[in-house]
Structure 1
Amino acid sequence: MWEWIFTVIFTIEYILRLISIRRPFRYIFSFLGIIDLIALIPSYLSIFFAGAQTLLVFRALRLLRVFRIFKLGHFLTEIHFLKQALRGSLRKIAIFLLTVLTLAVILGSIMYLVEKRENGFTSIPESVYWAIVTITTVGYGDISPITPLGKFVAAIVMLIGYSIIAVPTGILTHDLAIAFKGKTASLETCPDCGYEGHDSDALYCKRCGSSLRVKDVTGKKTSP
């Protein structure tokens, strides 16, 4: 019953949308329009083909109703800010992950030399796997150090993992805060201290006071 109630509601919404917009065919063949139509078709197909054994495969179309969730993105403007933040932090997070991977290779190699094969660290890739699992605080426990020196190295790896696990979150949060400032925010970096997040019309750095831009003879602001 509830299934048909929601199907009718979505059908009415789809028809009203076609009536209210100026170019209905443009909406019908758009990405969101196709998703809306696909979300409605399975329910009506079940009316005509419910008793046909050979057409039970059409029931699989009901799975396509999950595409309705994509409609929410059309109304949530916050997704724009999230995309902008992800785009701004992508390079920073990539550099961070590369640094963590390099650190995992170094620590895994050290653990391989300390623990040897008889303690489960049969190869450097296996030891690097252990380092990644430990740094990310997953800790499967399938490989663990036995020697006192190995346990000491493992303790250092655990502390490193706890200290860096929140770095990507901080990077994304910083860029997300900048994105929410809208047009008043700028990603311009101070040439002296490297601070980001100045106002779009800022001439001096908020942190160190250094000049960000200078005005040319036309009165426009340019980079120094």
Structure 2
Amino acid sequence: MKKHIDKSLSFREKEFKLRPWQLKIQEVIYGTYTRPGKIFDILLLIIILLSIVVVMLESVTYLNVKYHLSFITIEWIVTGLFTIEYILRIVSLRKPFSYIFSFMGLVDLFSLLPSYLSLFIDGATSLMLLRSIRFLRVFRILRLSRYMIGADVLGDALKNSRHKIAVFLISMLTIVIILGGLMYVIEPKEAGFTSIPRSIYWAIITITTVGYGDIAPVTPLGQALASFIMLFGYAIIAVPTGIVSSEFTSLKSHGIKSFECPNCGEEGHEKSAQFCKSCGYDFNN
């Protein structure tokens, strides 16, 4: 595998005329199968997980009061490391915009924005806006998608079954509207069925077997209909799972035609892919 990476690096040097330091950065950041690349991936994974844990702990009031300064310090250290990584990813590529506007490039950018946006928010700013900006940091978890090797297969299964799932969801929407309308007619307002939307809400939580209990039928006819809806819910709950599982099995049995990126060596790209999912390299060049 190391020979392959070395060959890839020499190809980039000849084709794109990158400087030696750019090739070295690529070997570390994009070289998944090189020793420096593996160490970098492990360290980056630890930093991402640390950042996510801090975001979650910061939402706990008493922890935030007690360790606020520590959380802020860790947050800015992580933000600084992410910023350096983002800049290095850009400067090491011959065509940086292919990475900047790729999915992972946008994820990396948006993982930085919340911390920098918080600098422009003062105490008079709406608490909701402040919380919304802090919440955006949760999306750093999307950076972990780089390390989900089998996620492509699951994604392809969902993509191939999207039409069947759409038909299923439309059918379910039709059913809950009808059932909600029936319960609105059958049940008195005192039972909680004060409007058709509220009755549809009850139908959804009943057919999905959630059953919060905030609304319940009181008439015999309504209770009989509710019993039918519950049994019906158990019967259909496995339908989308079966659809996706069938596609997943089909993909596994037939195999997925894929190739690796000549720029960074990342594997698992479909034949129709235009850009590398890791470094954003344009396959059409």
Q: TM bucket by the smaller chain?
A: 0.5 to 0.7
CA distance in 2, matches of 1:154, 1:129: 13
- Does 1:117 find its partner at 2:213? no
Question: How many pairs align?
Answer: 178
> Which residue of 2 is the match for residue 164 of structure 1?
236
Give unpaired runs (5+ residues) of structure 1: 54-59, 186-224
- Does 1:136 find its partner at 2:136? no
What TM-score results when the alignment is normalised by the length of structure 2? 0.45
- Whether the 8 Å CA contact 1:130–1:143 is kept in 2: the answer is yes
List per-residue Cα deviations over 1:56-99 (Å, max 9, x = no partner).
xxxx8x95765654433234342322221111221111211222
CA distance in 2, matches of 1:3, 1:25: 27
CA distance in 2, matches of 1:91, 1:183: 21
Equivalent residues in 2 for 1:16-165, closer than 5 Å: 27=99, 32-33=104-105, 36=108, 68-113=140-185, 115-117=186-188, 119-120=190-191, 121-165=193-237
Q: 1:23 to 1:163 in 2, by over 3 A?
A: same
> Which residue of 1 is the match for residue 5 of structure 2?
none
**Residue type of the alignment partner of 2:172:** V
List per-residue Cα deviations over 1:190-223 (Å, max 9, x = no partner).
xxxxxxxxxxxxxxxxxxxxxxxxxxxxxxxxxx
- Whether the 8 Å CA contact 1:119–1:146 is kept in 2: the answer is no
Q: 1:22 to 1:109 in 2, by over 3 A?
A: closer
Q: 1:176 to 1:5 in 2, by over 3 A?
A: same
Q: What is the percent sequence identity of the aligned residues?
A: 52
What TM-score results when the alignment is normalised by the length of structure 1? 0.54
List per-residue Cα deviations over 1:140-176 (Å, max 9, x = no partner).
3232222223222211111111221222122122222
Q: 1:69 to 1:103 in 2, by over 3 A?
A: closer
Task: Return the offset for 1:112.
Answer: 3.7
SS of the aligned residue for 2:218 comes to: coil
**Residue type of the alignment partner of 1:130:** W
SS of the aligned residue for 1:142 comes to: coil
RMSD across aligned positions (CA): 4.5
